[in-house]
Amino acid sequence: MKRTILYVDDEIDNTVVFEAAFEDDFNILLATSGQEALEMLEQTPVPVLVADQRMPQMTGVALFEIVRQRYPHTKRILLTGYTEPEAMLDAINKGQVFQYVKKPWDRATLMSILIRALESHDLELTNSALTDRLVASERSALLGQATARVTHEMSNQLTMLPLIEMIETQYADQEELVEVARFARKMYERLVGLIDEVKAFVRFDAEQMTRQPVRLSEALHELVSFLRFDASIPNEQFTLQIRNDSTVSANKVKIQQLLVNLIKNAAYAIRDRKDGRITVTADTDNGEAVIRIEDNGCGISPENIDRIWEPNFTTKGDEGNGLGLDICKQLVLGHDGRISCTSEDGLGTCFEIRLPLLDPSETAQSEPYGSNASASNEQGNRPIATQEHP
Binding site for Mg ion (CB under 5 A): 265, 324
For Mg ion, which is the closer residue by CB, 74 or 265? 265
**Which of residues 121 and 292 has its CB atom nearest to ligand ATP in the complex?**
292
Shortest reach from residue 223's CB to ligand ATP, in Å? 17
Among 321, 374, 379, 381, interactor with ligand ATP by CB under 6 A: 321
The site partner of 298 among Mg ion, ligand ATP, none (C-beta below 5 to 8 Å per kind) is ligand ATP
Q: Considering CB distances under 5 to 8 angstroms, the limit depending on partner class, which of ligand ATP, Mg ion, none binds residue 349?
A: ligand ATP
Q: Which of the listed partners (Mg ion, ligand ATP, none) does 113 bind, with a CB threshold of 5 to 8 Å by partner kind?
A: none
In angstroms, give the least distance from the CB of 300 to ligand ATP: 5
Contact with ligand ATP (CB under 6 A) among 324, 331, 339, 353: 324
The count of residues interacting with ligand ATP (CB under 6 A) is: 22
Which partner in ligand ATP, Mg ion, none is near 167 (CB below 5 to 8 A by kind)?
Answer: none
Which of 95, 234, 320, 334 binds ligand ATP (CB under 6 A)? It is: 320
3-state secondary structure the chain: CCCEEEEECCCHHHHHHHHHHHCCCCEEEEECCHHHHHHHHHHCCCCEEEEECCCCCCCHHHHHHHHHHHCCCCEEEEEECCCCHHHHHHHHHCCCCCEEEECCCCHHHHHHHHHHHHHHHHHHHHHHHHHHHHHHHHHHHHHHHHHHHHHHHHHHHCCCHHHHHHHHHHCCCCHHHHHHHHHHHHHHHHHHHHHHHHHHHHHHHHHCCCCEEEEHHHHHHHHHHHHCCCCCCCHHHEEEEECCCCEEEECHHHHHHHHHHHHHHHHHHCCCCCCCCEEEEEEEECCEEEEEEEECCCCCCHHHHCCCCCCCCCCCHHHCCCCHHHHHHHHHHHCCCEEEEEEECCCEEEEEEEEEECCCCCCCCCCCCHHHECCCCCCCCCCCCCCCCC
Q: Using the minimum distance from each CB to Mg ion, give the nearer residue, 34 or 324.
A: 324
Least Cβ distance, residue 79 to ligand ATP (angstroms): 38
Among 50, 114, 164, 266, binds ligand ATP (CB under 6 A): 266
Residues that bind ligand ATP (CB under 6 A): 261, 265-266, 269, 295, 297-300, 308, 313-316, 320-326, 349
